[in-house]
Structure 1
Amino acid sequence: MIWQIAILVTTIKIFFVPLYRSTDFEVHRNWLAVTHNLSIDQWYYDSTSEWTLDYPPFFAWLEYMLSHVAKYFDPKMLNVTSLNYASDMTIWFQRLSVIVLDLIYICGVKSCSNLIGNGKLLVFILLISNPGLLMVDHIHFQYNGFLYGFLLLSISNIITSNYIQSAIWFAVLLNLKHIYIYMAPVYTVYLLRAYCFTIPSDDGIHTPWYSFSVLNLFKLAITVTTVFILSFGPFIEHLPQLLSRLFPFKRGLCHAYWAPNFWALYNFGDKVLEHILPKLGITVPKVQASMTGGLVQEFDHIVLPSIKPWMTFILAGGSILPALIKLWYLCADRRYRALSFIRCLIVCATCSFMFGWHVHEKAILMILIPLSFMSVLGAVDGKLFLIISTVGHYSLFPLLYPKNLLAIKIFMLLTHTAIAFGNIPLLYEIPQKPKSRKRRAFMRLPLLNHLESLYIYGLLILCFYENILHTTWGLDKTLPFLPLMLTSVYCSIGVLYFFISYYYYFLTFNLSRLPMVGSVNLSGYAKKVN
């Protein structure tokens, strides 16, 4: 049945081939042309197109390999000067390349779901049918699925204690897309604690902090260093130029559409103060409303202090420190260290999403993918997954702005949400008497309390306003950015709630209250961890 589901989802992806595609389609077509025609010492210098190569070397080599297949579809797409070229064969090649590379994602999903007893099929379905990946990769157009495949392969090897192999997968992932660098501290802490501190104590469970293996540290360092040498070695003379492409700080605090994070609330607060303060007799500088212009560039706030890159680094880095310290101590117990690792991974991904510089809305998938796996392994994980999955996937709707895609977006989200809400609560919810169940069920979603349920229902009102009332009331001409702002701000409230709740859960997680389970075979764990 697992492979039948994979084939079904792949078929749906093929139906998406002729649909709307974003500028990312031209971005990757240009990268095919650059890597195919130019020598490697020119890859990170070419600026014929505004969409210059700004991914790590392994992704550049991937584009180079794809280009040698692309020439059999339509060689004209490989002309560096063929800007915005999109023949039928070009479209088919690029769409199919994403679908074929998704085989890595399917392998990663299967490797993780195979480790679960109760809930194996559910986890596979939740991951393989993730509406965010379907929207971002197969309609909007990007290559994210296979990257998460490498992440899941790395996580599965962590669970099975194949630490060197896990380090290899993650190092490869970093050299394909550097956004995952926010997860690197979690890997560093975990591999040091779980792999380099190896001698067990008398009980065979807890590892004393002073039992350190220099040999294991050496093997780990050599493994990771080798991957980075293979990646950056050919570009060593052009390293400054390469790094300037990878970290373009002049793009501004926020992307064109505000990702639903802390900065969306910060920007909204600045806009509110800009209009309220003059009414209170406080002078506010007259500046064009650039923060709502939908453009990717640097802007200053009007009332609140403007944010610089170094401020976001301090916030993001400082916010993950408590989680890393907690992970270090949780790793002392071998029974639960793998699950603690995944939870810490989710926490740090959320910290980077909340406070990072120029965060893309698509980065919400860094939270949703690993949390999908955890949703059947703990009641709190399952409950918070239901919230963040619904809100996070809805926050991606503005990416597919054509009106004819509305039904597709809603169908994908409702289908995935129905699967999650219909099955995850069955793992944890305590049976109630019929009368009590009826009282509890009124306006309340499974596992969620009334306020959480009302918040989720609020997405229906938001969707109705954005797609019907906003245009009906004629606000689409006077306030064109309002729907995007409302989506960002409303969804950011849900993401902030998840961030605080999940972080608190992780920091207060107490191993002494839990039953003993194996670290590899997770069968039967779903109903026990709370």
Structure 2
Amino acid sequence: MAAAAVESGSWFFALALGVSLLKVLFINAYHSTDFEVHRNWLAITHSLPVSRWYHENTSEWTLDYPPLFAWFEFSLSNIAQYFDKNMLVVENLNYASPATVLFQRFSVIFTDVLFIYAAKECCRCVQDQKGTRDILSRPSFVLAVLLLWNFGLLIVDHIHFQYNGFLFGFLLLSVAKHLQSRHLQGALLFAILLNLKHIYLYVAPAYGVFLLRSYCFTQDNSDGSIRWRSFSLLRMLALGSIVFTVCALSFGPFVIMGQVPQVLSRLFPFKRGLCHAYWAPNVWALYNILDKSLATLGIRLKLLDETKLPRASMTGGLVQEFQHSVLPSVSPSITLVCTLLSILPAVATIWLRPRGARGFLRCLLLCALGSFMFGWHVHEKAILIAILPLSLLAVNSREDAGIFLVLTTTGHYSLFPLLFTPAELPIKFALMLMFTIFSFAALGRIHSGQGSLLRPFEVVYLSGLVAVAVTCELIFPLSPWQQKLPFLPLLVTSVYTSLGVCYSFLRLYASLLRPQQQVHKSKQL
């Protein structure tokens, strides 16, 4: 047992070290406007009093994360001053000196230590089959690669630039603690996460219902049925005190200053429009393209007057705000109702028919995907909230492995437009190709003898991504259409990948609502 632990520690350390060195190679790569966003936040939190943090608007990239993340930026700024003090001047917009780039890139790499630790804890939640010498057949090794070397995190954090690895460290560590039945620790980590980035409200319903049902209520299933035995008020108070304490520490200063409405207005900017900078691969992408198709058809059939249509919907391409031409325009309240309806069956299922860790994980995934599919102004990068936790189920179940392959391939490819410069073209192709090949090969080996991981039409659909990639990334930029319709590749990418995301969502729901789970050869979580 000791020898196995040493061996496990060796290969995990090698994987973590290897990916960290790879991240260093991306220091001088392209970085997006998010680089300036976080530099500006460093300047705001370092140079201004707390009372001005959520009022400062010299830059268009105003502080719009919860207070704990602002304090995180403040902590980083105290180190950043030793690299280049000019990066901490609020008026120095778009400042990117070599020292600034070096500091911000390394800040992401070093804070990923939390993600590495979380991945290690998740690997402890799966058990390798005894006597397995082939490392590619070990669920713990495959899971470590799927998490540490995740294609989406590599390009979003270390090229495009963000701190998602640090944040996902809290999410995965929280999940691991729940899988280990350390519910109070898991609740504390998730409460901290919510106060670092509020997008994780997507999965809050899964946490709330799971903790209430499985922690606050004790249950008896000795005879195969689930019966409530008693409700523990003490456990409920313990959970409530954790949430209240974290929120008080985060929002307390702003409550005292009477700035909570101002903070909330920054956190929930409903004026940004239904879609993000380009259409995230969700239901609204399909809704938008249907509206555009109906408008085009209506004009050709002379049923619509082109001059009376909203200009952005027909000639402006992919914009942040526009009105639909034929279909009813969508408001924030409609997206909220759709989101709640999409996750309600999942939440109800783990309340009425709790299935332990697997049920919680599946509900978490459905909440993440439901919010991604129907939410307001969804960021395309939010697909990672579903992809990363699904990795834990993929190494455990053949059915989940098939869903993972569809979702991760389409979801990761939907991130391609984030890296649009020619220098990054071979990098993103190579990284995704390696990650995808490993995913198919390793998961196929783990679940060998259990049948094909993919259904025939899934293979056809995923093969279509190759044609989409070649057309959008290689052929279209050289065609005359590049000048006339520069947004077309984004549209095609979003619409095609949205089909895969929607399909994965439905398959996950089918597996959750199935009356009896199939018993798998792999170790149950």
Range of TM-score over shorter length: over 0.9
How big is each residue's C-alpha offset from its partner over 1:33-65, in whole Å with a ceiling of 9 and x where there is no partner?
A: 000011111100011111000000000000000
- Give how far 1:292 is off: 6.8
> Aligned equivalents of 2:232 and 2:425: distance in 1?
56
* C-alpha distance after superposition, 1:328-361 (max 9, x if no partner): 1232xxxx40111011100110000000000000
TM-superposed CA distance for 1:507, in Å, is: 1.4
2:159 corresponds to which of 105, 115, 139 = 139
Check whether the contact 2:219–2:229 (CA below 8 A) recurs between aligned residues: no
**SS across alignment from 1:289:** helix
- Separation of aligned partners in 1, 2:374 and 2:310: 25
Of the three residues 91, 105, 119, the one matched with 2:115 is 105
> Secondary structure of the residue that 1:198 maps to in structure 2?
strand
Question: 1:238-276 deviations in whole A, cap 9, x for unaligned?
Answer: 000000000000000001111000000111011111111
Quick one: distance in 1 between partners of 2:478 and 2:66?
A: 46
Q: What is the alpha-carbon distance in structure 2 between the residues aligned to residue 471 and residue 231 of structure 1?
A: 47
Which position in structure 2 is the counterpart of 1:212? 231
| 1:11-50 superposed Cα distances (whole Å, 9 cap, x missing partner) | 0100000000000000000000000011111100011111
From 441, 456, 467, the counterpart of 1:422:
441
- How many percent of aligned residue pairs carry the same amino acid? 49
Letter in 2 for 1:389: T
1:40 lines up with 2:58 in the alignment: no
Query: How far does residue 295 in structure 1 lie from its aligned partner after superposition?
Result: 6.3
Counterpart check, 1:326 vs 2:349: yes
C-alpha distance in 2 between matches for 1:158 and 1:468: 45
Matches within 5 A, 1:295-314: 297-314=320-337
Match of 2:185 in 1: 165
Gaps of 5+ in 2: 1-10, 129-138
The number of aligned residues is: 501
Q: Does 1:76 align with 2:86?
A: yes
Summarize deviations over 1:198-238 as a string: whole Å, max 9, x none. 253655x7552252111111111111111111110011110
Q: Report the Cα offset of residue 298 of structure 1.
A: 2.5
- 2:286 aligned with 1:265, yes or no? yes
Query: In structure 1, what is the equivalent of residue 35 of structure 2?
Result: 25
Is the contact between residue 111 and residue 166 of structure 2 (CA under 8 Å) also seen in structure 1? yes
**2: CA distance, partners of 1:85 / 1:12:** 25
- 1:36–1:64 Cα contact (<8 Å) kept: yes
Contact preservation (8 Å) 1:10, 1:99: yes
Is residue 256 from structure 1 mapped to residue 293 from structure 2 by the alignment?
no
TM-score (norm: length of structure 2): 0.92
Judging changes above 3 Å, is the alpha-carbon distance between structure 1 residues 509 and 297 closer, same or farther for their aligned structure 2 residues? same
Number of the residue aligned with 1:485: 491
Q: What is the rounded CA distance, in whole Å, between the counterparts of 1:375 and 1:480 in structure 2?
A: 37
Structure 1 residue 283 displacement after superposition: 1.9
Q: Is the 8 A contact 2:86 2:92 kept in 1?
A: yes
CA–CA distance in 1 between the matches of 2:282 and 2:230? 41
- Hey, what does 1:497 align to over in structure 2? 503
Alpha-carbon separation, structure 2, partners of 1:373 and 1:407:
29
Deviation at 1:372, TM superposition (A): 1.0
SS at structure 2 position matched to 1:448: coil
2:310/2:323 contact within 8 Å kept: no
- Distance in 2 separating the partners of 1:45 and 1:468: 44
- Within the candidate set 89, 96, 100, 1:86 is matched to 96
Residue 315 of structure 1 pairs with residue 317 of structure 2: no
Matched, 1:283 2:280: no
Q: Is the 1:250–1:297 contact (alpha carbons within 8 Å) kept by the matching residues of 2? A: no
Counterparts of 1:371 and 1:478, CA distance in 2:
40
In structure 1, the residue matched to 2:260 is: 239
Would you say 1:95 and 2:105 are equivalent positions? yes
2:454 to 427, 441, 448: 448
User: Do structure 1's residue 13 and structure 2's residue 23 form an aligned pair?
Assistant: yes
Q: How far off is 1:431 after superposition? A: 6.9
| Corresponding residue for residue 395 of structure 1 | 414
CA distance in 2, matches of 1:394, 1:202: 46
- Of 230, 249, 253, the match for 1:230: 249
What does residue 337 of structure 1 align with? 356
1:440 aligned residue:
none
Cα distance per residue 1:296-315 (max 9 Å; x no partner): 54311111110000000000
Q: Which amino acid aligns with 2:436?
A: T
- Aligned with 1:50 (options 60, 65, 84): 60
Q: Does 1:176 align with 2:196?
A: yes
Structure 2: distance between partners of 1:212 and 1:173: 27
User: Whole-Å Cα distance in 2 between the matches of residues 211 and 18 of structure 1?
Assistant: 58
- The aligned amino acid for 1:263 is W
Look up the equivalent residue of 1:172 and give its one-letter code: I
CA distance in 1, matches of 2:111, 2:242: 25
Give the Å deviation of 1:509: 4.8
Q: Compute the displacement of 1:291 (Å).
A: 6.9
Judge conservation of contact 2:395–2:446 (CA < 8 Å) in 1. Answer: yes
Match of 2:171 among 128, 151, 161: 151
Shift of 1:469: 2.2
SS of residue in 2 equivalent to 1:211: strand
Contact 2:318–2:491 (8 Å) recurs in 1:
no
User: For 1:432-472, what per-residue CA distance to the aligned partner results, in whole angstroms no more than 9, with x for missing partners?
Assistant: 8xxxxxxxxxxxxx521221111111111111111232133
Structure 2 CA distance for aligned equivalents of residues 189 and 140 of structure 1: 35
1:429–1:447 contact (8 Å) kept in structure 2: no
8 Å contact kept, 1:291–1:299: no
What is the one-letter code of the residue matched to 1:377? N
2: distance between equivalents of 1:502 and 1:43?
41
Distance, in Å, in 2 between the alignment partners of 1:509 and 1:95 is: 48
Distance verdict in 2 for CA 1:431–1:359, change over 3 Å: closer
Matches within 5 A, 1:372-383: 372-383=391-402
RMSD in angstroms over aligned alpha carbons?
1.7
Distance in 1 separating the partners of 2:315 and 2:197: 28
Q: Which residue of 2 aligns with 1:461?
A: 467
1:381-419 deviations in Å (ceiling 9; x for gaps): 100101111111110000000012111001111111111
Equivalent residue letter for 1:242: V
Q: Is the 8 A contact 1:330 1:337 kept in 2?
A: no
Change (3 A) 1:260 1:100: same
SS in 1 for 2:58: coil
- Deviation of 1:473 (Å): 2.9
Q: Using the alignment, how far apart are the partners of 2:329 and 2:51 within structure 1?
A: 37
Change in Cα spacing, 1:81 to 1:295, as seen in structure 2 (3 Å) is farther
Cα offset, 1:423, TM superposition: 1.2
Helix, strand or coil at the partner of 1:106: helix
Give the whole-Å Cα distance in 2 for the aligned partners of 1:502 and 1:306: 29
Q: 2: CA distance between counterparts of 1:301 and 1:381? A: 37
SS of match in other structure, 2:387: helix
Q: For 1:59, which of 55, 61, 69 is the aligned residue?
A: 69
Shift of 1:425: 1.7
* Residue in structure 1 matched with residue 522 of structure 2 by the alignment: 525
Among 128, 145, 165, the residue aligned to 1:125? 145
Q: Would you say the 8 A contact 2:218–2:228 is kept in 1? A: no
Separation in 1, partners of 2:220, 2:335? 40
- Looking at structure 2, the residues matched to 341 and 199 of structure 1 have their Cα atoms a distance apart, in angstroms, of 16
Look up the match of 1:410.
429
- The Cα of 1:115 is off from its aligned counterpart by 1.5
TM-score by length of 1: 0.92
